[in-house]
Amino acid sequence: MKPVDFIIVGQGLAGTSLAIRLLDAGKSVLVIDEAKEQTASLVSSGIINPITGRRYVKSWMFDQLLSEALHFYRLMERRWGIEVIKPKRVLRALSNVLEENLWSGQSGKQDYKDFFGKIIKDKVYTQAFNNKVVFGEVRNSYQVDIPGLILNARKELKNRGVFIQERVLDSDIHIEDIISIKNYKTKHAIFAEGWKVINNPFFKKLPFDPTKGEVIIADLEDYNLEDIIKNQKFILPYSKGGYWIGSTNENGVDNNLPNAKKRNELHDFITACVKGNYRIMQEWTAVRPSTKQRRPILGAHPSLKNIFLFNGLGTKGASLAPYFSKMLVKHILKGDQILNDVDINRHLF
């Protein structure tokens, strides 16, 4: 069999965005994914939130990232005739005067004006919760249907005959001038395996910090809000019914097994804060591919120049993947530079 230009290992958000860009650049591609159900991309709520953290600061590189994300996801909407990205208001709980004051202070900053809306004290919102809160409105926020994007891309890859559902083991990879992975031959391999990169023989020494998250999909009897609410945890309508509630954080993990204690944290949150009875519909566990520096890592292996990495999307894959997949593809195909903050070469192996 003739070698393909690229084999991509992993078809989460990272591998999907690369595959689309390489196919559209006229390259031959083969994508290999073990197709597990509870991956970071498939359980993600897909929120793009410009204002984050306890001090309500603008997210890193937000303007550039959002512009490329809107462009890329809208192309995918036209490609498959589906909705991928929609504007969605985030309402951030402010639980005391200090938080309200901080919020008001930040909202007055010149380059923050597009992102801060009004403080909402409307009973429709405040009475949905047991804890005393008002809400700060975050504007220019979005929700991306990441599972929908991945599953539509997988359908296209299968139709093109370039998707293989298998797990890649170390022993399946042989590197020479032509690389072979599971007996498929390629000129270049790109690894986009999410948190499982910690087992990858070429890249496992990089500073990854996999962070496990638990999620609950629940029917909330007396709750009826359409916005994305951040009141300690996120609560937002789930596309297949009920509400997506999450998530938890557990750093430095090496497995994706459910953590009962962390799940209870979500149950306790619902019981304490959300009014009315609830019924659990689903419980999911997945691991975010975070890094110690909280920045993606991309580029070629320092000594094996036909092997590449695209990883470290962490908690913000929805905004990071379009911009940095474009950067990596331009680097590989045209020799364009990779931004220093995310360049694999800034790390020691």
Ligand X SMILES: Cc1cc2nc3c(=O)[nH]c(=O)nc-3n(C[C@H](O)[C@H](O)[C@H](O)COP(=O)(O)OP(=O)(O)OC[C@H]3O[C@@H](n4cnc5c(N)ncnc54)[C@H](O)[C@@H]3O)c2cc1C
Can you give the binding site for ligand X, defined by CB under 6 A?
9-15, 32-34, 36, 39-41, 43-47, 167-168, 192-196, 213, 215, 246-247, 286, 288-289, 311, 313-319
Closer by beta carbon to ligand X, 122 or else 341? 341
Q: Which is nearer to ligand X, 40 or 134 (CB)?
A: 40
CB of 317 to ligand X, least distance (A): 2
The least CB distance from residue 293 to ligand X, in Å, is 15
Both structure tokens of 126:
């405040």
Q: How many whole angstroms separate alpha carbon 337 and alpha carbon 325?
A: 13
Q: Give the tokens for residue 140.
A: 């220019």
Closest CA to 30 of 181, 247, 249, 233: 181
> Which is closer to ligand X, CB of 120 or CB of 146?
146
What number of CA atoms fall less than 13 Å from residue 96's CA on the CB side?
2
Q: What is the identity of the amino acid at 52?
A: T
| Residue 120 or 286 having the CB closest to ligand X | 286
Q: Residue 247 CB, nearest distance to ligand X (Å)?
A: 4
Report the Cα–Cα distance between both ends of the chain, in Å, rounded: 34
- Between 300 and 321, name the residue whose CB sits nearer to ligand X: 321
Least distance from ligand X to the Cβ atom of residue 97, Å:
29
Reported in sequence order, the residue ranges of 95-241 that DSSP labels E, i.e. its strands, are 116-120, 134-138, 142-144, 163-165, 173-174, 179-181, 184-191, 211-220, 228-231, 233-237
Using CB positions, name the residue nearest to ligand X.
Answer: 12
CB of 218 to ligand X, least distance (A): 15
